[in-house]
Structure 1
């Protein structure tokens, strides 16, 4: 009984403490699950018709951008694949979208769009980063505890037909009080596996100690960080743009195992910098590759192909894809959307349960007080 009372107390007060955070994370998470799908419909500048043409190399894309923005510096180009515009990052407040078949600038979009605002809420609760990230991290940790304590509270006292019905079925025709209880209790149980995935993957992104703990449990051992640096001593100076084009070509034709034409390539500012190539972008995962700017050799700081990773490193690589539901494409996105909505509802239905008990307790105390009071 003592354990049950402590568990109920933890579930109640931890739930009240983190309720607002969980609601915000749940609602913003619902929106972000389908961010790319919504953007594809609402943003016509993301589309480009190939008309039988081949994708232009990064040097040509840069040339097209500098004709429109001569005083800007191109940092990187993100090719989204066939029949999609390329996203060019420049040193400005806007993102430039370019037709990769003609190098024509299609649109310049402010970073502060709707989804950026939603992301700010999901990551930082619209607070300064150093404050909001801490609140979100610990709010997620409390949510993790709430899921475990909620499972204990849900567990049926008896596994007979009545106990199973109360734990697994929602009485849609019941009064509001019972319906609200079922929505909290039953939906909370059915969503617990995916909700735990939300919490664990979120904690891996929030806290280094948690990330390292999961990595260690999975059998991984952290290695010293290797800096990606090009060798300028034993290699002659080369034409940077020509090397970036070659790196882009190598990324598509030699490095990529999945979606070869979805690729990011960077423009080094110094001779000692490596050329960054991001490839194998699928299901929320990607591969970071660093190439020597002069020889285009793969540097030790690069990631392995996903199929070559050990179990511990694989967990880290797929963590983001699992968190956003992209790991299984549309089916998991739909499932994660529904569960994220349920997670947002749990603090609300839980508060209604607590408030109803509080009012009932207050009425009971008043009745007892009235019965004990001397009659006039």
Structure 2
């Protein structure tokens, strides 16, 4: 059997097998590209008028207000966002509390399982049990990658003459529906190939540990991916400082000293036990986040382990690729233009199983007609 026939056979049957999954994952991906932008647009409680000369209140004031709204339930983490946006306080519950960072007024108590949460559940594991659904999604993504490769082989013109070039790069909008459908599958599939490959690669990177480790080794010049390590707090200094004074000091240190751009976008996690450390992430509004660990009793900075503990500018290639992967997956690494590009890339990816199925169905019906005509002639 010729290579071209094997390639076409693979493209057809792998597409039929994975089509529905690719459609679900791609169409939910379109929405998630603009998740935070849409939330800020649709949910007024995510915005806060800048007062107090733009000075944000410390965690002690905001967490106290949030815990009071939750009936005394202890907070798990607090996330300061950009100026003009409310601070998010998370709990071991279904609720999230949004607090005005300038006045400590509670803006809203909301259920975290909103529309976007349900969309994410479908994108990550198809609304199935996470362990089962996530495996199906990652293997469907692998099949989709093979489809992209076999698709470009099918698209490639046998001869680069004017007629073939026009057919390969343009959609004949004046043609019949069958022809337009074919061009939508063939031409749009080609134009969005780079974006689709980046989305597929970054998804596989998150889904396959062997792939992320291999890429890390190559990008870092032969190093192994470092293990995550959260250093413990020194319990012998438990009386060194009051809880809130220490936490407020950690927040000020993050904003004023540790953030590359003096960014207020900081996530701070409460220690789950007496020996645990306080973790914090700075530069949370972009792709260049960094993890920090602190003694919960003294506020002393501790040395953790992992790919995200070094300042981004000092990290090796493997660390940088690991930290950039999510931003690469949704296109936010290039700002709004990147998001728009990835939105349309995901939309086209969602359309490919639909247009591809119609092409196959049309060929199937075409084959049946001659068989029926032959039967009529023999009667």
Q: Could you tell me the TM-score, scaled by structure 2's length? A: 0.94
- The alpha-carbon deviation at position 234 of structure 1 amounts to 7.0
After superposition, the Cα gap between the structure-2 partners of 1:159 and 1:100, relative to the gap in structure 1 and judged at 3 Å, is same
- Choose from 273, 277, 284 the match for 2:276: 273
RMSD: 1.7
Give yes or no for the alignment of 1:343 onto 2:349.
Answer: yes
Distance in 2 separating the partners of 1:177 and 1:254: 61
Q: How does 1:70-89 map to 2 (within 5 A)?
A: 70-89=71-90
Distance in 2 separating the partners of 1:284 and 1:369: 65
- The alpha-carbon deviation at position 37 of structure 1 amounts to 1.5
In structure 1, stretches of 5+ residues that fail to align are none
Q: How far does the alpha carbon of each residue in 1:214-257 deviate from its partner, in whole angstroms, 9 at most, with x for none?
A: 22332342234423222335786432221111110000011101
Q: Tell me whether 232-241 or 1-10 shows the greater mean CA deviation.
A: 232-241
> What does residue 309 of structure 2 align with?
303
Q: Could you tell me the TM-score, scaled by structure 1's length? A: 0.94
Residues 72, 92 of structure 1: 8 Å contact kept: no
Distance in 1 separating the partners of 2:275 and 2:128: 37
Q: Tell me whether 334-343 or 287-296 shows the greater mean CA deviation.
A: 287-296
Q: Tell me whether 139-148 or 35-44 shows the greater mean CA deviation.
A: 35-44
Distance in 1 separating the partners of 2:130 and 2:151: 30
> What does residue 119 of structure 2 align with?
118
Q: How does 1:226-375 map to 2 (within 5 A)?
A: 226-233=229-236, 237-258=240-261, 260-293=263-296, 294-301=298-305, 303-371=309-377, 373=378
Residues 250, 299 of structure 2: 8 Å contact kept: no
Q: How far does the alpha carbon of each residue in 1:339-358 deviate from its partner, in whole angstroms, 9 at most, with x for none?
A: 11100000000000000111
- Ranges of 4+ aligned residues in structure 1 off by more than 6 Å: none
Q: How does 1:156-175 map to 2 (within 5 A)?
A: 156-175=157-176
Distance in 2 separating the partners of 1:109 and 1:234: 37
> What does residue 38 of structure 2 align with?
38
Residues 204, 210 of structure 1: 8 Å contact kept: yes
Q: Secondary structure at the match of 1:265?
A: strand
Aligned length: 373
Q: Secondary structure at the match of 1:277?
A: strand
Distance in 1 separating the partners of 2:126 and 2:354: 18
- The alpha-carbon deviation at position 26 of structure 1 amounts to 1.3
Q: How far does the alpha carbon of each residue in 1:7-30 deviate from its partner, in whole angstroms, 9 at most, with x for none?
A: 111100000011001111111111
Residues 259, 281 of structure 1: 8 Å contact kept: no
- The alpha-carbon deviation at position 303 of structure 1 amounts to 1.3
